[in-house]
């Protein structure tokens, strides 16, 4: 993704030689021909950030003059690699970021695998009689709207 048409054209021109020179050229060709691959020309960095957040890339390399001005707005990427000396392969092998990242745009709502993935938080809800009375009408209205009367009855029964 770039706001520079000349850069987009240069990348397009360089791809055939890069693909031909790689060991797994068939896999690379298939990947580049898939719907997940494109050279995207944007008007400016703001549009680039919006596009990236909507797309939710697994890996995102940020190659801009002032990355610190862009990074806070990037909310949906599995891993973000900043600057021209930070290739994705660092994350795969040595930098300490996780190699198991959300694919297929899932970075819009999920993060990479981490120790927190294996934690099982508990949700504990506790109301007293007054607190329940304060919200009872809302609960019963929603249960009636969803046609789940037993949910409303569970609230009403506590006030019989």
β partners of residue 81: 61
**What CATH fold (topology level) applies to the domain 5-112?**
Rossmann fold (3.40.50)
Provide the 8-state DSSP code for 82. E
Q: What is the DSSP string of 40-69?
A: -B-SSHHHHHHHHHHH--SEEEE--S-HHH
User: Quick one: what percent of the chain has pLDDT higher than 90?
Assistant: 68
Given a cut of 80, whether residue 97 has pLDDT beyond it is no
Say which of 59, 75, 85, 151 is annotated catalytic.
59
- Show me where the domains of the chain are located: 5-112, 129-159
**59 noted as active-site residue:** yes
Contact indicator for 40, 1 with CB cutoff of 8 Å = yes
pLDDT at residue 8, as a whole number: 97
Say which of 58, 61, 75, 138 is annotated catalytic.
58
User: Quick one: what percent of the chain has pLDDT higher than 70?
Assistant: 98
């Amino acid at each position: 993704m770039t706001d520079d048409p000349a850069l987009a054209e240069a990348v397009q021109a360089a791809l055939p030689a890069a693909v031909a020179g790689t060991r797994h050229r068939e896999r690379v060709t298939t990947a580049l021909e898939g719907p997940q691959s494109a050279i995207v020309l944007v008007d400016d960095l703001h549009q680039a950030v919006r596009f990236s957040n909507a797309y939710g890339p697994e890996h995102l390399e940020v190659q801009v003059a002032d990355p610190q001005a862009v990074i806070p707005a990037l909310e949906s990427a599995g891993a973000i690699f900043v600057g021209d000396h930070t290739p994705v392969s660092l994350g795969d092998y040595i930098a300490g970021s996780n190699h198991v990242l959300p694919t297929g745009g899932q970075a819009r709502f999920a993060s990479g695998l981490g120790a927190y993935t294996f934690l099982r938080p508990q949700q504990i809800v506790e109301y007293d009689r007054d607190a329940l009375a304060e919200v009872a009408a809302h609960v019963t209205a929603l249960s009636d709207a969803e046609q789940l009367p037993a949910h409303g009855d569970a609230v009403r029964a506590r006030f019989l």
